[in-house]
Structure 1
C-alpha cells in the first residue's frame, strides 16, 4: 500500500511539475497545440505498437523538459516567444547555465562515477562478506548455479549508433556489444569450470527473418564461438521494447528449457542464477527488473564510463576537464535519461520499491 501511494503521489508531483514548466515556458496559445500533439502521438503510437511502449512513448515526450537538452531548447524558445527584438535575458542565461554545466567533463564524470561506484562497492562488500560466511561452493559468485548468462544490448540503454564489425559479411551493429559478448564467453568458461552448464542468451537480436538480421545474428554467434561458447549453448532473443519486456522473454525461454520452474513453484535458495551482463550505469535498474519478475540475478556490470573523476598531472593537463564538450553532454544526458527511466519503471510497477540504490539481495 505504501509503495502504491508513493507511485500515485510521484505521478501527481511529476505531472504538476511538468505542467508548471510548460506554462512558464510555452505561451498559452501554444499549449493547445502541444496538447494536440500529445494526443496525436498517443493515437499513432497505439496503432503502431499496441503493447506497453505506448505509455513509454508519451513518457519520453512529456519528460523532455526535464532533460538537459530539452530544457535548454525550451528555454531558448521561450526567450524569443515575443519576437527576436524582445529576447528574455533570464531564460537565455538559464539555458546557457544548463548547457554549460552539463557539458563539462568534470561534472559528467562526477555524477556518473557516483552511480558506478555503487556497483563497485557492492562487489567489494559482497566479496568481504562471502569470504567470512559463505561455504566454499558459493565463493566466486555462485557460478556453479548459473542457469543462463544474459547479455543485454540496446534494451539496456545503448546509443543507437553502430559501427561495422570486421567479419566476412562486414555487417554493422552496436560495437558496444562485442566486449560484452567476450566477457560473457569468459563467464561461460568460469561457470563450466564450476560445474554449471548455462545458456548464453543474447538479447541484442534485431528480430525478423531478413538477410541483414540473420547476418547480425551470425556475426554475434561467431564472436561467441571464437571465444569458446559451443553452438548448443547459444540462444538469441529479440531485443524487447525495454528491459522489462526483455526479461519476460528470457523468463519464458528459461521455463521452456526447464532451467527455471513456473513462477509459483520457484524457491530462491535452489533456483538457477541468471548472470546479467549489462552496462554499469543501467545495471541497478536492469537487475532489479529481472528480480521483480522472480529471477535470481548475479550482476556482472560492464561499460564503466568513469575511472577517475579528475585528470592527473599539472594544471595545464587538467584544462580539458573544465572545457565544455559534446562527449560530456552526451554522458550527462545518458545518466539523466537513466534517472528518468528508473522513475518510469517505478511508476509502471516494474521495480520492487522506490529505491534506486543497490539491492542487497542481488548477488555480485
Structure 2
C-alpha cells in the first residue's frame, strides 16, 4: 500500500512539473520545438526508469544521477549562474545559486560530514554483524556481489588489479574456509564501458583461487550488472542445482540493506555478511576519533558522500519499482 501511495505522489509531482513546463513553453513555432523536446525528454525518462540497463536508458540514467550528485548539482547551479552574468553585472538569483553551490560542495566534501553520513548508512550492516556474532549460521551458498571489485586486465598488466571494494572477495573466501557454505556464487557481469571479451566474474574467480578456494566450489554468474539482476540469477542457480534458497550475502556495508531486501523479495532467506566498512568496523574493536583535518574539505570525503547518496537514490528507485521486500 505504501509503495502504491508513493508512486501516486511521485507521479502527481512529476506530472505537475511537466505541465508547468508545457504551459510555459508558449504556442508559437519557436516554442513548438521546446514542446517536442519536452515530449522527447519524457520518453527518455520513461525508458530510463523501466529499462535502465538498455544503452539509451543507461545513458539517461547516468546523466540524471550526475545531476543529483553533490558535484553535478553544484556544477549545474554554477553554470546557470554564469548565464545570468552580462555587461559586467550579475542578475538574481545568480548570487544565491553560487552560494548554494559552494555550501553543498563544502559540506559534502568535509570528512566530518562524510563519516557521519556513512555511519547512518551502515547502521543496518553493523546491527547485522552484531546479531550474527554469537554463532556462524550456515547456508547452501555464499553470494558475492563482485561488480566493481576488480579492474580490467589490459595488455601491459598480467595480474588482476583490485579496487577499494575488493574486501568483499577476501571476506567471501574467509566465510568459505570457515565451512559456512559449500559454494560461492560470484555475481559480476560485463564491465560498464569496457569492450572486453571476459566478464568480471572470471577475474574474481582467479583471485578466489589465490585465496585457496577450489574451482569446484566457485559458481560463475556472468550476466548481472545490478543487484536486482544478481538476485534473479542467483535464485535461478540455486533452483537449478537443487540448493536451498538460503544464502550468505557478501557486499559492501552501504549496500547491504538494499541487497538483502532485494534477495528476500525473491523468496530467499538472507544472512547478511557486510564488509567494506567506511567508519567503525564491527569486526574489530575500534572507534573513530575526529581530528582538525576532518573539518577541512577533501576529495576522498566527497567521493564517500557521493557513494552514500547514490545508494540512497538506488534504494528509492528499487522501492518505486517494488523490488524490495516488506521492511523498507
Residues 153 and 239 of structure 1 are in contact (CA less than 8 Å); yes or no, is this contact kept in structure 2?
Answer: no
Find 1:303's aligned residue among 276, 295, 304: 276
Is it true that 1:75 corresponds to 2:68 in the alignment?
no
Separation in structure 2 between the aligned mates of residue 292 and residue 215 of structure 1, nearest angstrom: 27
2:169 aligned residue: 181
Is it true that 1:238 corresponds to 2:222 in the alignment?
yes
Find 1:153's aligned residue among 131, 146, 152: 146
Is it true that 1:221 corresponds to 2:205 in the alignment?
yes
Can you give the 5+ residue segments of structure 1 that lack an aligned partner in the other structure? 132-138, 261-271, 313-317, 356-364
1:190 aligned residue: 178
1:53 deviates by 7.9
1:90 aligned residue: 96
2:12 aligned residue: 12
Could you say what secondary structure the match of 1:123 adopts? Answer: helix
CA spacing shift, 1:293–1:18, aligned 2, 3 Å: farther
Separation in structure 2 between the aligned mates of residue 50 and residue 115 of structure 1, nearest angstrom: 24
Residues 105 and 324 of structure 1 are in contact (CA less than 8 Å); yes or no, is this contact kept in structure 2?
Answer: yes
1:123 aligned residue: 129
TM-score, normalised to structure 1, is 0.71
1:211 deviates by 11
Residues 275 and 299 of structure 1 are in contact (CA less than 8 Å); yes or no, is this contact kept in structure 2?
Answer: yes
1:300 deviates by 0.5
CA spacing shift, 1:55–1:354, aligned 2, 3 Å: farther
1:162 aligned residue: 151
Find 2:317's aligned residue among 334, 339, 344: 344
CA spacing shift, 1:333–1:17, aligned 2, 3 Å: farther
TM-score, normalised to structure 2, is 0.78
2:283 aligned residue: none
Equivalent residues, number: 308
Find 2:255's aligned residue among 255, 275, 282: 282
Can you give the 5+ residue segments of structure 2 that lack an aligned partner in the other structure? 281-285
Separation in structure 1 between the aligned mates of residue 288 and residue 84 of structure 2, nearest angstrom: 43
Could you say what secondary structure the match of 2:188 adopts? Answer: strand
Separation in structure 2 between the aligned mates of residue 247 and residue 299 of structure 1, nearest angstrom: 14
Find 1:113's aligned residue among 79, 103, 119: 119
Residues 11 and 347 of structure 1 are in contact (CA less than 8 Å); yes or no, is this contact kept in structure 2?
Answer: no
CA spacing shift, 1:171–1:32, aligned 2, 3 Å: farther
1:247 deviates by 0.9
Separation in structure 2 between the aligned mates of residue 63 and residue 11 of structure 1, nearest angstrom: 19
Could you say what secondary structure the match of 1:191 adopts? Answer: coil
Residues 276 and 297 of structure 1 are in contact (CA less than 8 Å); yes or no, is this contact kept in structure 2?
Answer: yes
- Please give the root-mean-square deviation of Cα atoms over the aligned residues, in Å: 3.9
CA spacing shift, 1:342–1:55, aligned 2, 3 Å: farther
Could you say what secondary structure the match of 1:274 adopts? Answer: strand
CA spacing shift, 1:290–1:53, aligned 2, 3 Å: farther
Could you say what secondary structure the match of 1:281 adopts? Answer: coil
1:333 deviates by 0.9
Is it true that 1:38 corresponds to 2:41 in the alignment?
yes
Residues 108 and 114 of structure 2 are in contact (CA less than 8 Å); yes or no, is this contact kept in structure 1?
Answer: yes
Residues 135-180 of structure 1: per-residue CA shift (max 9 Å, x gap)? xxxx32x21xx111111122xxx58x83769x993355x5245432
